[in-house]
């Protein structure tokens, strides 16, 4: 029994030395990338606003650093939220990343930090419409070797991933951010089908009047298909 206890303690120590140290490295790389994203957002906001002199001030961009793990960029009527998860993940077994030679060579390469980009309506925050919908438009995965790839909406054309042969960089992050902004501006708010909004309760109307909380989203009433999401496995080789 004593030998078994010693073996368990040894196994715990080895796990801490290996996997936990690995995850800390992934976290540090992801955290540094997120700090760079904040710098990129501030720079892009400043540059765009410099070219909007004499234009309606309501379309100016506004950058806000919300916390260590969250930042936002308001672009006219759109709000882009950038969120870094504090934990480290491994891809599920069905994910195409497992088919890459890079991960097959070393499974430790599959441990990744995640930075997500969401698109909301700016008015959802302005009027505290807490039930309004936003959409995940991209996720950036970064591992212990600073290798990265992007998973995102097909329309964004995020085809600049080459997992295993390209380190995350300020230039890459700037391209991702600019693509996300452009996609969000082109992703228009659509009128919901009549049948989905033809009946409303008194409570809904009172709530709308008091709090502007009639649920709104860019694709409200339309199916948000799973095949709208693209993992760029054409480059995951």
Structure confidence at residue 217 as a pLDDT band (50, 70, 90): low
| Any domain includes 212 | no
Output 17 or 227, whichever has higher pLDDT: 17
The whole-number pLDDT of residue 234 equals: 42
> Picking from 19-23, 124-128, 143-147, 204-208, which range would have the lowest pLDDT averaged per residue?
204-208
Select from 68, 62, 67 the least CA-distant residue to 80.
62
Element (H, E) at 81: strand 78-84
- Can you give the pLDDT at residue 145? 97
- The count of domains in the chain is 1
In a domain, 204, yes or no: no
As a whole number, mean pLDDT of residues 197-222 equals: 57
Mutual angle of helices 21-50 and 170-186, in 10-degree steps: 60
Q: Is 152 a member of any domain? A: yes
pLDDT of residue 133: 80
Phi-psi region of 227 (alpha: psi -120 to 50; beta: other; left: phi over 0): alpha
In a domain, 136, yes or no: yes
216 located within any domain: no
Pseudo-torsion of CA 49, 53, 57, 63, nearest 10°? 10
Please indicate, yes or no, if residue 139 is contained in any of the structural domains. Answer: yes
Within-domain flag for 196: no
Helices (H), the chain: 2-15, 21-50, 101-105, 122-126, 170-186, 194-197, 202-211
Instruction: Please check the confidence at residue 189 and state whether its pLDDT lies above 90.
Output: no
Look up residue 131 and give its DSSP letter: T
Asked if 221 contacts 196 with a C-beta cutoff of 8 angstroms, the reply is yes
Q: How far is CA 223 from the centre of its chain?
A: 21
On whether the pTM is more than 0.95, the answer is: no
> What range defines the domain where residue 125 resides?
2-190+224-231
Q: Angle 220-84-73 (CA atoms, 0-180°, nearest 5)? A: 60
Which two three-digit tokens encode residue 216? 């709104």
**How do strand 61-67 and strand 70-75 relate by DSSP bridges?**
antiparallel
- Assess if residue 35 is contained within a domain: yes
Q: Mean pLDDT over residues 84-98, rounded?
A: 90
- The tokens describing 155, both together, are 């329309």
């Amino acid at each position: 029994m004593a030998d078994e206890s010693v073996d368990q303690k040894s196994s715990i120590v080895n796990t801490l030395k290996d996997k936990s140290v690995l995850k800390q490295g992934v976290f540090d790389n992801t955290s540094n990338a997120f700090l760079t994203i904040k710098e990129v957002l501030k720079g892009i906001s400043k540059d765009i606003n410099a070219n909007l002199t004499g234009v309606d001030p309501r379309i100016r961009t506004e950058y806000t650093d919300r916390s260590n793990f969250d930042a936002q960029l308001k672009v006219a009527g759109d709000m882009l939220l950038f969120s870094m998860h504090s934990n480290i993940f491994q891809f599920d077994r069905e994910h195409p990343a497992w088919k890459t030679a890079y991960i097959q060579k070393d499974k430790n390469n599959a441990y990744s930090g995640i930075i997500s980009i969401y698109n909301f309506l700016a008015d959802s925050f302005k009027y505290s419409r807490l039930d309004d919908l936003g959409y995940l438009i991209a996720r950036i995965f970064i591992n212990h070797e600073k290798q990265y790839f992007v998973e995102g909406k097909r329309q964004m054309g995020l085809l600049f991933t080459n997992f295993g042969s390209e380190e995350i960089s300020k230039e890459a992050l700037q391209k991702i951010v600019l693509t996300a902004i452009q996609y969000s501006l082109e992703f228009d708010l659509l009128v919901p089908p009549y049948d989905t909004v033809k009946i409303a309760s008194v409570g809904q109307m009172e709530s709308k009047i008091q709090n502007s909380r009639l649920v709104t989203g860019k694709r409200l009433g339309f199916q948000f298909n799973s095949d709208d999401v693209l993992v760029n496995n054409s480059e995951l080789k």
